[in-house]
Every structure is written in C-alpha cells, then in structure tokens.
C-alpha cells in the first residue's frame, strides 16, 4: 500500500464506528461467547477490513490521490474490413471479409522503376486516371516544341468522387514511371481496371526496367518491360518478374487475389505466349504456348468472373476473342469478329457471364454487342447491332453493379477519321432499346461508380476537359473536376477506373 494511503487509513480508521452485527446483518442474533467465537470472528474481521479499504479508496479518489495507471495495449483480434472485389464493372466492389494477409508486395524485391509521389487513404471512392506524356523538346532552335517521341512517361492520379466540385489541390498524384524508351522499342499497355488487386490496395503495372547492362554491340543500356506490384496505400514497389530475356506486358490480377496472368514477348521480337505467376512472385509458368506465326502476338485481355480461365485475343489483321480454361488447358473462341482493345468486355459470375463490344473488322463496319452465358464463353449471342459504317465502333461494355444493365460507348468519325463523337448508352442483357446517356466530341472514358448509381465520365483535355458524374438516364450532371487553362499538349489520357476502399 502506498505511504500516503497508509497514512490516510491510519488517520481515518479511528473515525469509523461499526454497530454490533446484530443491528446490521440480516437475521443476525446476539450469541453467547464460545470456544469457537475466535474462529468465527476471523471472517467478520476480514469483512470489516475490506469495507474499510473500500472506504479509504473512495476517499482517496475524491481527493485525487491515486497514482495514474498505464493502460495495457489491446490484444490483437481478427477484424472485418471492406475490401474491393473485381466484378463485372470498371470498379472494384466492396464486400465484407476477413482482413487480408499482409501485402505480398512486402515480400517482393524492392524496385525503383516506379516513383511514389503520394499514397491513397485507406477509405473512400476514387477515380484513377492514367495519362501519358511524350518527349516534345524542340529538335531545331526555331521550334517551340518538337514532335512526340520516346521516352514516354505515365502518371496515375486519383480524384475523390464527391458530390461537390473538387479542385486540382484535391487530386493525388500517386505514381509515375517510364512506359517506353528507344531501347525497348515498345510502350507498355496498362489497363487499370484489370490490374487492381481484390483488396483494392495494390496495382500490378508493366513498366520500363533498366537492367544496368549493355547488350553486346550496343552503347545503350539494356531495358525491357517488366511487372512490378505497387501498394497504393503503403507506398511500396516490388519487382514481380525479373527474367531479362522477355518483355512482360498486359497483366491482369485474378479475382481470387492470388495470381497474376500476363503476356510475354521475347526481347528479340517473337511472341512468347501467356504466363501466370503468384502475387508473391513464386510459381511462374506458361499457360498458353506462343503463336506459331512470327507476326502474330498474344494479348491477354482479362480473367473470367470466377478465376477459372483467362480471355485473350490473338491475330494480325483479324483477331478473335478467346477463353482459355486453365484446368482443362482448352481454348474456346467466344466471338470471331475483330477485337479492338483489351478493355472491350466485362466478366462477372452468374449468367450472362460476359458482355463485350465487337466490330465487323479493323476498319469498323457493323458493331455488335455480344453476351456469353457461362465462364467458358459458351452461348455467344448478339444483343445489339450498330449500322455498318467506316470508322464506327462499339467500345468498353461494362455490367452495372448488381444489375443486368450494360454501359457501352458508340464511337464514330467521318470517312477521313476526323470530327469524332462518342455516345454513351445503357441497355440490358436482352438488348432492350438502348437509351442515350450523353454525347461528347472529345476523347471519352466512362465507368460505373461502385454502387452503380452514377456513370463517371472523363472527357477532353485542357479547356474542354473534365470529370463528371451523371445519372444513367443522362440527368443530374455534376462536375467533379474541371481542367481549365491552356490545352495540355502531347498528354494522352489512356484509362479510367473507379476504386473504392
């Protein structure tokens, strides 16, 4: 007992007068003293001492005399977090699940191929925007700026999706990296919506890696495209692929979160097929052999909805859209028309499992919105047809979260490829009469918000540019961020994705 408490006890104990037990214990009676009375008195005395101690503590608390206590740290316990799970939308959908394992990027060798500018807060909904800037320094003294040429630098920025208009100060410039050089002879092809991990924290990217060596007979350092994993919340970068014989491109993160598939090409040029690696950098193996023709390359598009297979297209003049069943090792051509981009379609679990935007050929022609019933791509069906025309395409079909509705775009231009326009439309899995959301005359990207209530629209550059939210029926247009001032020369917008943490 502390000295000050002992003094208080000694000082106050004499003031306490307890009546006989018969007067305060229910049912107690006065009894004659016996040989056992000494033993009976022991517990009674203990009770008195306890009571006195309690009174002393109360008095000390009133006087503020107890010394402060150091709180013990809480014991670790499982927690439940909202994680982002890829679905048939451009955004990762939140679902309640147990806390994920520590980021696999922490176990990967550190990489300096990506520069971390800012980290993402661990909550909120964000529009991720990928841009590319080319070298435009003058080649002659009289020029204000030169032609666009390599190297190319890519930047990923994050804009909060709030109801109020934001300013440039609200934008977080997350990462920057080199996406192409004269040494690589190639530029990377990153599709953000396919490359976000299910927990929403990590992003796999194809970037230029300088090997620090000089190939025989060359004065330029060896450089190639390799895969890295960026933890957007923790701000770390890990090297995922390290084989200097290949360009590693077009990665996609599996919906189960443990694997990453990607395309490979030899540095010398030939196609090397499709490969798979675990997110922790182990288990690298080939899942599809290379194309037999030298001029043909294999492009990974995405995983299917349940992670049992991957979609890819392969071709030169014409390229059909195929699904590889990983367990069976068999491929199935979902649809034979021209596949115009990695992001043409969208997968989900359930039926229909797939929706995609196709064209009759490389030069346009009839546009087709196609669905497939299952994860293998069976049951292909055209649900919407567009008029046959040159320079006309359907683009990026996307399932609305929790719905059978579909967002897609129709892009058209005149015979010379000038005066383009993009119309955003919404239909459903039956192809019911599409309704127009809006039409723009600028480069346009669109995605659903994570709850499916709004469409996020990124259009234009410079004075004509902006990021907007709009209802699926075209009403309630809200400006999230406007890009004013002089047009940004030689900056290309490459992709838009919505991420909810």
Residue 120: what pLDDT?
A: 96
Residue 81: what pLDDT?
A: 29
Residue 104: what pLDDT?
A: 54
Q: How far apart are the first and last CA of the chain?
A: 52
Question: DSSP characters for 366-391?
Answer: EEEEEEESSTT--S-EEEEEEEEEET
Residue 215: what pLDDT?
A: 54
- Residue 40, classed as helix, strand or coil, is helix
Cα distance between residue 395 and residue 384, in whole Å: 13
- Residue 318, classed as helix, strand or coil, is coil
Peptide bond into 130 cis (omega under 30): no
- Residue 170, classed as helix, strand or coil, is helix
- With beta carbons less than 8 A apart as the criterion, state whether 264 and 277 touch: no
Instruction: Supply the Cα-derived Rg of the chain in whole angstroms.
Output: 33
Q: What are phi and psi of 199, to 5 degrees?
A: -80, -5
Q: 200 — alpha (psi -120 to 50), left (phi > 0) or beta?
A: left
pLDDT digits (tens, 9 = 90+) for 79-131: 222 223 333 334 443 333 333 444 555 689 999 999 999 999 999 999 999 99
Cα distance between residue 448 and residue 498, in whole Å: 7
List of E strands, 254-377: 259-266, 271-278, 285-288, 297-303, 309-315, 319-325, 330-335, 345-347, 354-361, 364-372
- With beta carbons less than 8 A apart as the criterion, state whether 400 and 454 touch: no
pLDDT digits (tens, 9 = 90+) for 27-71: 433 333 333 344 344 445 455 454 545 555 444 444 444 333 333
- With beta carbons less than 8 A apart as the criterion, state whether 465 and 486 touch: no
How do strand 91-98 and strand 491-500 relate by DSSP bridges? parallel
* Domains with residue ranges and CATH for the chain: 3-63 (no CATH), 83-500 (2.130.10.120)
Run means of pLDDT, 10 residues per run, the chain, 501 residues? 44 40 37 39 48 50 39 31 32 38 69 96 94 87 83 95 77 95 91 96 96 57 91 97 95 97 92 97 97 84 97 81 96 87 94 94 87 96 91 94 97 88 97 95 93 94 77 94 65 90 93
Residue 27: what pLDDT?
A: 40
Residue 135: what pLDDT?
A: 86
Residue 492: what pLDDT?
A: 80
């Amino acid at each position: 007992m502390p000295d000050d408490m002992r003094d208080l006890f000694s000082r106050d104990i004499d003031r306490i007068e307890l009546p006989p037990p018969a007067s305060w214990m229910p049912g107690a009676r006065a009894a004659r003293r016996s040989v056992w009375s000494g033993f009976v008195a022991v517990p009674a005395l203990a009770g008195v001492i306890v009571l006195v101690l309690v009174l002393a503590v109360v008095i000390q608390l009133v006087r503020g005399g107890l010394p402060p206590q150091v709180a013990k740290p809480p014991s670790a316990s499982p927690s439940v977090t909202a994680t982002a799970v890829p679905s048939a939308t451009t955004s990762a959908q939140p679902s309640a699940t147990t806390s994920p394992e520590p980021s696999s990027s922490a176990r990967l060798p550190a990489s300096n191929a990506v520069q971390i500018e800012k980290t993402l807060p661990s909550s909120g909904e964000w529009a991720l925007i990928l841009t590319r800037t080319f070298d435009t320094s003058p080649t002659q003294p009289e020029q204000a700026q030169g032609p666009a040429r390599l190297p190319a630098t890519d930047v990923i920025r994050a804009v909060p999706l709030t109801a109020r208009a934001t300013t440039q100060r609200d934008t977080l410039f997350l990462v920057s990296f080199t996406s192409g050089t004269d040494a690589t002879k190639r530029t990377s092809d990153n599709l953000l919506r396919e490359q976000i991990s299910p927990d929403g924290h990590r992003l796999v990217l194809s970037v230029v890696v300088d090997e620090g060596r000089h190939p025989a007979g060359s004065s330029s350092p060896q450089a190639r495209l390799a895969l890295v994993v960026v933890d957007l919340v923790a701000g770390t970068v890990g090297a995922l692929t390290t084989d200097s014989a290949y360009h590693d491109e077009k990665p996609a993160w599996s919906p189960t979160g443990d694997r990453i598939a990607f395309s490979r090409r030899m540095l010398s040029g030939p196609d090397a097929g499709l490969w798979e690696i675990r997110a922790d950098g182990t288990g690298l193996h080939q899942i599809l052999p290379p194309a037999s023709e030298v001029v043909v390359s294999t492009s990974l598009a995405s995983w299917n909805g349940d992670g049992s297979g991957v979609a890819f297209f392969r071709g030169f003049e014409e390229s059909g859209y195929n699904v590889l069943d990983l367990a069976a090792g068999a491929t199935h051509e979902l649809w034979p028309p021209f596949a115009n981009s990695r992001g043409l379609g969208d997968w989900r679990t359930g039926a229909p499992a797939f929706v995609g935007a196709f064209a009759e050929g490389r030069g346009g022609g009839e546009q087709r919105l196609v669905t497939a019933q299952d994860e293998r791509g069976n049951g292909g069906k055209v649900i919407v047809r567009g008029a046959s025309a040159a320079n006309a395409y359907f683009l990026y079909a996307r399932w609305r979260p929790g719905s059978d509705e579909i967002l897609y775009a129709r892009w058209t231009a005149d015979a010379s490829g000038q005066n383009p326009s993009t119309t955003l439309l919404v239909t459903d899995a039956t192809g019911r009469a599409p309704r127009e959301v809006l039409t723009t005359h600028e480069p346009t990207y669109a995605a659903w918000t994570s709850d499916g209530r709004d469409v996020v629209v990124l259009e234009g550059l410079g004075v004509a540019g902006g990021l907007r939210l709009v209802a699926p029926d075209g009403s309630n247009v809200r400006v999230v961020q406007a890009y004013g001032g002089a047009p940004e020369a030689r900056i290309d917008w490459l992709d838009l994705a919505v991420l909810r943490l």
